[in-house]
């Protein structure tokens, strides 16, 4: 089955700096890779996703890159703000089946 | 669009009782819903996949007789924790898959409910 690893487990950055979170997956059949943001005690919120036919996707300060050959994808947040502080989860799935989440990264943006 | 509700948000019960949690897709029909369990500071662990009109598919290690899932309509799935014990205390979150073609969805995006915090005394 699919296995998703995520690094780092915790990340602290100064406000205004960039943050990068990396995930690797094992199943080459996986073709959809979403990223979720979860604030304490709240639901995971989809922030960006990418499909296997695309190498990069950007939405304002957030971008995701995918390297299918190496089986890894990364979340990039630029100009970080305190409200970006949360736990971020990556996930991988093949056609919406067997969603597997990474262990999460706790991002702290220091003012 | 793509709003998922979950009820109750918080429940405290005595050991041995059963608890029902509801998950509803409010503005779309979801043939597939998912139930997750999340321990403090940990990731989401898929418990089962709920399919409308058929039996749920449980992940390995999840007791189907303890965690009863019913997906009776295209907008409602329920999870019943039977004979709850303190070790069942956790944060339970459902999600619904947005069908292909709905609000631009491609059939693989999941949207989460707000979660239910279960405490078994």
pLDDT tens readout for residues A90-109: 999 988 777 899 999 999 99
**Residues in chain A within 8 Å Cβ distance of B117:** 41
Distance from CA of B13 to the nearest CA of A (A): 20
Q: Which residue in A has a C-alpha nearest to residue B99's C-alpha?
A: A96
Q: B106 and A51 in contact by Cβ < 8 A?
A: yes
- Residue B104 above 60 pLDDT? no
- Among chain B residues, CA nearest to A34: B109
- Choose among A46, A89, A104: nearest Cβ to B111: A46
| B111 contacts chain A (CB < 8 A) | yes
pLDDT confidence bin for B103, thresholds 50/70/90: low
pLDDT the model gives residue A29 = 92
Of residues B43, B97, B109, nearest to A104 (C-beta):
B43
Identify the weakest region by mean pLDDT among A1-5, A67-71, B8-12, B76-80. Answer: A1-5
Please, which residues have CB within 8 angstroms of residue B19's CB and are 6 or more apart in sequence? Answer: B11, B13, B80, B81, B84, B118
- Predicted confidence at residue B107, as pLDDT, reads 66
A51-56: long-range contacts at Cβ-Cβ below 8 A with a sequence spacing of 24 or more? A51/B106
Residue A5's pLDDT is 97
Place B108 in a pLDDT band, splitting at 50, 70 and 90.
confident
pLDDT, tens digit, 9 for 90 and up, residues B3-44: 999 999 999 999 999 999 999 999 888 888 999 999 988 999
């Amino acid at each position: 089955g699919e296995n998703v690893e995520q690094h780092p487990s915790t990340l602290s950055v100064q406000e205004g700096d960039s943050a990068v979170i990396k995930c690797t997956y094992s199943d080459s059949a996986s073709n959809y890779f979403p990223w979720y943001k979860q604030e304490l005690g709240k639901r995971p919120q989809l922030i960006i996703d990418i499909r296997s036919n695309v190498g990069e996707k950007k939405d304002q300060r957030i971008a995701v890159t995918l390297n299918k050959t190496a089986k890894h994808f990364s979340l990039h947040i630029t100009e970080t703000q305190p409200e970006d502080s949360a736990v971020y989860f990556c996930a991988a799935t093949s056609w919406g089946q067997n969603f597997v989440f990474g262990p999460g990264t706790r991002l702290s943006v220091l003012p | 669009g793509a709003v998922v509700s979950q009820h109750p948000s918080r429940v405290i019960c005595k050991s041995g009782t059963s608890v029902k949690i509801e998950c509803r897709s409010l503005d779309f029909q979801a043939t597939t819903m998912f139930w997750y369990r999340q321990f403090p500071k940990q990731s989401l662990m898929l418990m089962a996949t709920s399919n409308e009109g058929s039996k749920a598919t449980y992940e390995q290690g999840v007791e189907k007789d303890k965690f009863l899932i019913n997906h009776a309509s295209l907008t409602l799935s329920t999870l019943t924790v039977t004979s709850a014990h303190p070790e069942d205390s956790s944060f339970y979150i459902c999600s619904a898959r947005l069908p292909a073609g709905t609000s631009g969805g491609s059939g693989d995006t999941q949207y989460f409910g707000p979660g239910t915090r279960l405490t078994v005394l």
